Chains A and B, each alone.
Chain A
Amino acid sequence: MMHYLPNILFLIALAAGIGYFTMNIKKIIRNVKLGRDVDVSDHKKERWNNVVRIALGQSKMVVRPIAGILHVIVYVGFIIINIEVLEIIIDGIFGTHRIFAFLGPVYDVLIASFEILALLVFVSVVFFWTRRNIQRIRRFWAREMTSWPKNDANYILYFEMVLMLLFLTMNAADLQLQQMGADHYVQAGSFPVSQYIAPLFDGMSEGSIIAIERTAWWLHILGILIFLNYLYWSKHLHIILAFPNVYLGRVQPKGQFKNLESVKKEVELMMDPNADPFAAPAETEEEGAEPEKFGASDVMDLNQVQLLNAYTCTECGRCTSECPANQTGKKLSPRKIMMDTRDRLEEVGANINKNGKFVDDGKQLLDDYILREELWACTTCNACVEACPVSIDPLSIIMDMRQYLVMEQSAAPNELNVAMTNIENNGAPWPYNQMDRLNWKNEA
């Protein structure tokens, strides 16, 4: 029985790691579903194209070449090194060692590429850390990047550094043991990187090196499981959510803002010369049903894609650094719009966990998180939408919240009220008479 103890411990750790992660993913799905339904059944081909080009192909990341290429290395490393995780899991469950060793030369190539990628990932992550903490690139030090967001970013980098070091240490010890002809350690793999670490173990006893190999092996896989569960608490969720998020991202021209269906019905009725102004409300409307709220003041008013956007955001700040309002010192930061949305959604989620259903907490996304000043600073220029490497649309949230302010609260800035009154009365945002619209042709 004792013989199987490591296998059992491994299974428990694996089940706990995956189980807890699944539980949290379910929470995310539940929270996203608090948003309004949105039809995303259109443009299937274009959506898949986007996934291939933007998500898999990282096309938007390389717009900024340095960060882009470093990110591609970490991303490719992450995906490919995961093949090794598969072997580790099988070994862990069945007590085997390097189960894929039978692949022979193919295995050599695999292990060699994992090692080279691990080194490249490590170096890239060190670069990332330097850019963030030494070079202090402006977008990483904005107003919203304090406390948790700032620490979170660094924790992720430390995690990745440690995981890569553990992986290479594990291999180095393994190589040393292979060369010593240790029992159980099959001659397999090619170790272009860890061969330079292995000499550190010269002169150590087989038992000590086995202890090092096992420790590194265990810490590496436990580290991966911990990291997996860290995702839920972190901005790092993008490694999973980027793919669905890009699929669900905008496929219409960026300038096309959605036309509110609820408004359309009312406007059509108003403009219909045959409509009876004194008619009773249409029978389809349920008795006592609340009229649909225009725009958004809280996360439940946003749609599900917008809420997924919030969980997908990895706070890279490319949106904010391209934003004309932010560049000229206004309070608006599109990244903060996304972070606020997620924070509020998490707050609502915690409220539901506690009470079984959402109980009014006297707070909302508007004012308690996102300020009116931020919303009114937006020029709707779409620079943030264009900049996002994973197809997040902060502008749509800004627009929905403006709609709430204007249509539910009549709380537009006064000059805008004047312009809108002009449009309503004269058909132009300025106080000119519509009858003078063609006067220009007679002016010298």
Chain B
Amino acid sequence: MNETIQVPTMAEYMAEGKKPEVLFWVGCAGSFDDRAKKITKAFVKLLHNAGVDFAVLGTEESCTGDPAKRAGNEFLFQMQAMTNIEVLNGYEIEKIVTACPHCFNTIKNEYPGLGGNYKVMHHTQFLKSLLEEGRLKVEGGKFKGKKITFHDPCYLGRANGEYEAPRDLLRKLEVELVEMKRCKSRGLCCGAGGAQMFKEPEEGKKDVNIERTEEALGLNPSVIAAACPFCNTMMTDGVKGKEKEDQTAVMDIAELIAQAEDL
């Protein structure tokens, strides 16, 4: 069955004279990358499940400019930022949620200086707030008792100090949460940040994602939980490289919750 999910756009809301509770910023990975699209869909299911009135920008969304900025192209970044801010301000957006820590960081921290002021939440923070408001039910389902380790995305963790929201959600799933030695503020990068995702790594002894995957696999987890589409790709590649994809899955927190509930 070709299930089409209900994803209203801001343009549609505008035409009806309505304003959503929150804008879901999908991001480039969430829109185009096959693996990340699954995360997007899982998150949308959770939004529907919790009865969240949301909309996306759809074709009016464009790259936040994060990779351009981290690559050193401040011009391109600011062009992207200002174009996006014009669209967002045109719709009088107040609250944004995104499943990408890079989009999250850029819109939250770097857009205000360019005229874009919004309340920005990472999807793990948003899901946690839905839980606290009693709108979303997360409880031990399929993953109860399963050994799961969480890989901190740099741009959620160190960059913005959020270490607990994703872990709180995992605890709600009653999983056996095991920590890697390098976790939280000392978490090791997956290797994708700073525009590395879009280039070959410099010469070295090893790729960063392999180093990180080895650390995670050392714990023998059934799932490596991620909260960033780029970390997800890097860790998935790492697990495949080690031929461990039968034992260990790499999943986003949103996917874990959606699957636990069989949504």
Contacts and interface: CB of A to CB of B under 8 A. Distances in A.
A427 interface: yes
A440 interface: yes
A382 B32 contact: no
B14 interface: no
A406 B83 CA distance: 21
B263 interface: no
Contacts of B160: 253-255
B148 to A, nearest CB: 22
B41 A420 contact: no
Contact of A259 (B62, B70, B78): B78
A118 to B, nearest CB: 34
Contact of B67 (A257, A378, A423, A437): A423
B195 to A, nearest CB: 6
A443 interface: yes
A379 B196 contact: yes
Contact of B193 (A380, A416, A437): A380
Contacts of A332: 202
Interface size on A, as a range, is 35 or more
Given A379-B193, A427-B63, A438 B56 contact: yes
Contacts of A436: 32, 59
Contacts of A376: 199, 202
Contacts of B185: 386
A413 interface: yes
Interface size on B, as a range, is 35 or more
A429 interface: yes
Interface string B55-86: 01011011101011111111110111011001
A55 B121 CA distance: 32
Interface stretch (A179-187, A232-240, A280-288, A321-329): A321-329
Interface in B26-77: 26, 28, 30-33, 37, 40-41, 44, 56, 58-59, 61-63, 65, 67-76
B240 interface: no
B213 to A, nearest CB: 12
B119 interface: no
A138 interface: no
A415 B202 CA distance: 12
Contacts of A295: 72
Given A330-B204, A416-B199, A423-B67, A407 B74 contact: yes
A439 to B, nearest CB: 8
Contacts of A423: 63, 65, 67-68, 76, 80
Nearest to B197: A429
A424 B76 CA distance: 7
B58 A437 contact: yes
B186 interface: yes
Contacts of A405: 72
Interface string A432-444: 1011111111111
B178 interface: no
Contact of B78 (A263, A331, A440): A263
A263 B65 CA distance: 14
Nearest to B8: A441
Interface stretch (A70-78, A264-272, A305-313, A349-357): A264-272
Nearest to B62: A427
A407 B26 CA distance: 29
Given A436-B59, A440-B26, 11 more contacts: A253-B160, A256-B110, A267-B75, A267-B79, A332-B202, A373-B203, A379-B191, A379-B208, A402-B70, A423-B80, A444-B2
25 contacts: A253-B108, A256-B109, A264-B78, A322-B186, A324-B189, A324-B208, A325-B208, A328-B206, A329-B204, A373-B203, A380-B194, A383-B154, A385-B158, A399-B72, A402-B72, A404-B72, A407-B72, A407-B74, A420-B67, A420-B68, A423-B76, A429-B67, A432-B32, A435-B59, A438-B9
- The 5 residue pairs across chains A and B that have the minimum distance between CB atoms: A255-B159, A329-B205, A402-B72, A380-B194, A427-B62
